[in-house]
Amino acid sequence: SLQFEKNLQDDYVKFLAIAEDCITKTEVGILGFITNNGYLETPTLRGLRWNLLQTFRHLLLIDLHGSTKRPIQGDENVFDIQQGVAIGLLARTPETDRMRVERADLVGDRAAKYATLGRMAFSQLNLATLMPRPELFVFLPLDDDLQAEYAGYLPLVQIMPHYSSGTETGFDDLLVAFSRKELRERLESFLRPTLTLDQAREEFGVNKVNSLRLFELRNRFRRDFGINGKSYETVGMYRPFDNRIYYYRHDYFKTNSFNVMRHLIDKPNLAIVAFRQQSQDGFHHAFITQYLGDKNAVSLRTREVNYYFPLYLYPNANSFEATAKCAPNVADFFTKLLRENWRDESDQRPAQISARDVFLFAYGVLHSPSYRLRYGSFLRMDFPRIPLTNTVALFQNLAQLGGALVELHLLESPQLEKPITTYTGPVKPEVEKVSYSGNTVWLDKKQTRGFTGVPEAVWNFQIGGYQVCDKWLKDRKGRTLSKDDVTHYQKIVVALNETIRLMGEIDKVIDSHGGWPGAFVTQPKT
């Protein structure tokens, strides 16, 4: 992947490789490095960790934290940089020595970290013994039993093997708009003959280098927009509950995601949005869409790339299979394993398990609060894993609750027609300053217009890296909300309120069947 190549090209990774090669040739030695701390757990560097474990017998690691991308309250970096820092002391000794991997963590202000490192030897630190395990070999203190339990579940990428990261236009201020009319006006402005580079940078929010690239594309834009520009307009999920209009010529975009996104363009479909890694604590990182989606639709952080797992795969329009029906993007082996591990009486089992049922079941599992809490350490490091149920009843209950969540998150549930909030203010309010107090979301500094009746839990509710009720409005700062916008926001509040309730119901259902891990199969049959 592009992220894998990017990590391998990092200079500190190259220096580790050079130093390791030198020590391997001498067959004994000690390597001490102060580096980026990403290699301690980044999934795409699991091969690097595996290699270090083959080369060295003793690995002593200090994570100094300090990352601005994964902030910890009260923590500071030891240098004036954004990336977290680690110290590694790696020793190659005779094979007869006992293998040992130890780790210490220093969190706090810079002065305290300097003081600790200045007065204490490595051996005096609070070292935790690690047992890095396949497949990721992370250098983290993890519960071995819990890790083995979670490893017994099946990776989402195996259950739904066709997936990719979301779209990345590189020019959102030009190619993504709130309406078709607004999009066409932008493109017409971009194609006007008198437009200069400086004007392009200001109007479309791009830097000098990107504005040059944008100008190189103008002739292609002019040809496409003039002949069949409307055919490239499509709906896409830009942020949670925030679909916008994309000018989607995939060969203009930075990410190579078309092979997946084409299944979500003007076709009836669904896709789970999931993550390979997160840069923050707490798992909130699952959502749904029926359209193509942005690389940062559910989280903007650099590490939290959004991946899309479509339910159905459609034939290529240019292939001889163009008239064939769509195929499910759910592996047959998973449904087979489900049936083999159910302990219900045989006459209670459905004749077949549909791909949609598996899809909804997975979505239900990903919204279990106890699942998110129990496996949070593992969910932040790799794509989620989905368990097999012991009974068909639990599978069906979770699929039903997952289906209810899907309806809410697509804003298609009948419950959304019963708002729990009241809007107070002018017919077309401008979003000036978003704030929350007294169960009211305010739209102006003087707090004279807003939505009353918004529960605090709903206001604080996160999907991925976004606090939804705040984010949706802040993205419209300076804009005027239409009547439909006001109604849409009220539906979001209902959807989140019902999501919180259904997440509680999911845990109740799991508890009634034995809880975690008893209700599930942790070692699937092969």
Per-residue pLDDT tens over the stretch 179-204: 999 998 998 898 888 988 888 888 88
Instruction: Classify residue 298 as left (phi > 0), alpha (psi -120 to 50) or beta.
Output: alpha
Residues β-bridged to residue 30: 91
Give the separation between CA 285 and CA 277, rounded to whole angstroms: 10
Per-residue pLDDT tens over the stretch 62-92: 999 998 877 788 899 999 998 899 999 999 9
Mean pLDDT (the chain) is: 89
Tell me, what's the pLDDT at 42? 84
The backbone torsions φ and ψ at residue 467, rounded to the nearest 5 degrees and listed phi first, read -85, 100
- Residue predicted with more confidence, 15 or 367: 367
Strand runs labelled E in 254-409: 271-275, 287-289, 292-293, 306-310, 312-313, 327-328, 385-386, 388-389
Mean pLDDT of 499-525: 90
The size of the chain, in residues, is 526
Mean pLDDT of 343-364: 85
Which residue type does 293 have? G
Give the separation between CA 67 and CA 72, rounded to whole angstroms: 8
CA gyration radius for the chain?
A: 26
Give the separation between CA 347 and CA 393, rounded to whole angstroms: 12
The backbone torsions φ and ψ at residue 295, rounded to the nearest 5 degrees and listed phi first, read -60, -30
Q: CB under 8 Å to 145, separation ≥6 — which residues?
A: none
Per-residue pLDDT tens over the stretch 119-178: 988 888 999 999 898 888 989 888 888 988 999 999 999 999 999 999 988 889 999 999
What is the maximum span of the chain, computed from C-alpha positions, in angstroms?
A: 78
Confidence of residue 345 (pLDDT cuts 50, 70, 90): low
Mean pLDDT of 35-40: 92
Instruction: Report which of 277, 275, 273 is spatially closest to residue 291, judged by C-alpha positions.
Output: 273
Per-residue pLDDT tens over the stretch 320-338: 454 568 999 999 999 999 9
Give the separation between CA 118 and CA 264, rounded to whole angstroms: 56
Task: Please state at what angle helix 355-366 crosses helix 332-341, rounded to 10 degrees.
Answer: 70
SS3 call for 372: helix
Per-residue pLDDT tens over the stretch 93-132: 888 788 999 999 999 999 999 999 999 888 889 999 998 9
Half-sphere exposure at residue 395, Cβ-oriented, CA atoms within 13 angstroms: 29
Per-residue pLDDT tens over the stretch 388-412: 999 999 999 999 999 999 999 999 9
Mean pLDDT of 492-511: 97
- Residue 135: asked if its preceding bond is cis (omega within 30°), the reply is yes
DSSP H helices in 236-289: 258-261
Per-residue pLDDT tens over the stretch 276-321: 888 767 899 999 999 999 999 998 776 688 999 999 999 875 554 5
Confidence of residue 525 (pLDDT cuts 50, 70, 90): very low
pLDDT at 381 over 90: no
Determine contact, residues 495/416, Cβ cutoff 8 Å: yes
Tell me, what's the pLDDT at 96? 76
Confidence of residue 229 (pLDDT cuts 50, 70, 90): low
What is the secondary structure of 327-344 as a DSSP string? EESS-HHHHHHHHHH--S
Tell me, what's the pLDDT at 2? 42
Task: Please state at what angle helix 180-190 crosses helix 197-204, rounded to 10 degrees.
Answer: 160
The number of beta carbons lying within 10 Å of the beta carbon of residue 383 is 20
Q: Tokens 């939290």 belong to which residue? A: 304
Determine contact, residues 83/36, Cβ cutoff 8 Å: yes
Mean pLDDT of 374-392: 93
Residues β-bridged to residue 441: 436, 451
pLDDT at 248 over 70: yes
Confidence of residue 4 (pLDDT cuts 50, 70, 90): very low
